[in-house]
Amino acid sequence: MLDTHARKYVQPVVGKTADLFLKMGFTADSVTKIAFAIGMSSGIFIYLDQPFWAVLVLWLSGFLDVVDGTMARKTKPSSWGTLLDISFDRLVEISVILGLAFRFPDSMWALLLLSVSIIVAMTVFLTVGALSDKEDMKSFYYQAGLAERTEGFILFTLMIVFSTYLTAITLIFFAVQLVTIFQRMTEAKRILK
């Protein structure tokens, strides 16, 4: 939801950063890989009980993830770049979930439920994107929903910072994912008939 509606407010900073990286000779794929490496370290920082660094690298990777897409659209978007971007996004999320699960094993069951909901939500998202003949500014149809990447990062941040309430926050995230799945399935039924 925030990705869809707030993008216009952050896009000027994203665009300037993308232009800077392009002037420095970076490609969209290279920034995708940098964002991935930075984001993957979040799970390690969580496990090492370094919540400040875990949150910082998570959000930095998320910012670079937006920048790489803008860079691709300013140059030449590729299907390979889209695949890297989507795959690396999920791996960063897995890193956070695993870091939390190993650091706080009592919450592992809730984190498992969250993982399953993310898998289902992304399956619907990617399938609708592949089957739909609609397109937007991305290289495939982007289905908006209650839980987009920014909402996920906000909830991951709350999970990391307020780990005392990890199970409760994880279950809220799970519920948000269920609403998103319902939204996307409802839209899919309408546009894919």
Under 8 Å between Cβ of 96 and 160: yes
Return d(Cα 186, Cα 86) in angstroms, integer.
Answer: 23
Question: In the prediction, which pLDDT does 139 show?
Answer: 58
**Mean pLDDT along residues 139-152:** 76
CB neighbourhood size of 45 (10 A) = 21
Question: In the prediction, which pLDDT does 135 show?
Answer: 56
Question: In the prediction, which pLDDT does 141 show?
Answer: 67
Question: In the prediction, which pLDDT does 153 show?
Answer: 95
Return d(Cα 129, Cα 124) in angstroms, integer.
Answer: 8
Question: In the prediction, which pLDDT does 126 show?
Answer: 85
**Mean pLDDT along residues 41-60:** 98
pLDDT above 60 (res 44): yes
Q: Taking Cα atoms as reference points, which of 132, 178, 176 lies closest to residue 158?
A: 176
Please write the tens of the pLDDT for every residue from 66-120.
999 999 999 988 889 989 999 999 999 999 999 999 999 999 999 999 999 999 9
Locate all alpha helices (DSSP H) within the chain, ordered by sequence: 2-23, 28-47, 51-74, 79-103, 108-131, 149-161, 166-191
**Mean pLDDT along residues 15-35:** 95
Percent of the chain with pLDDT over 70: 92
**Mean pLDDT along residues 36-64:** 97
Q: Confidence band (pLDDT; 50, 70, 90) for 3?
A: low
The yes or no reply on domain 2-191 and CATH 1.20.120.1760 is yes
Where are the chain's structural domains?
2-191
pTM of the model: 0.88
Question: In the prediction, which pLDDT does 2 show?
Answer: 63
**Mean pLDDT along residues 30-59:** 98
Q: Confidence band (pLDDT; 50, 70, 90) for 127?
A: confident
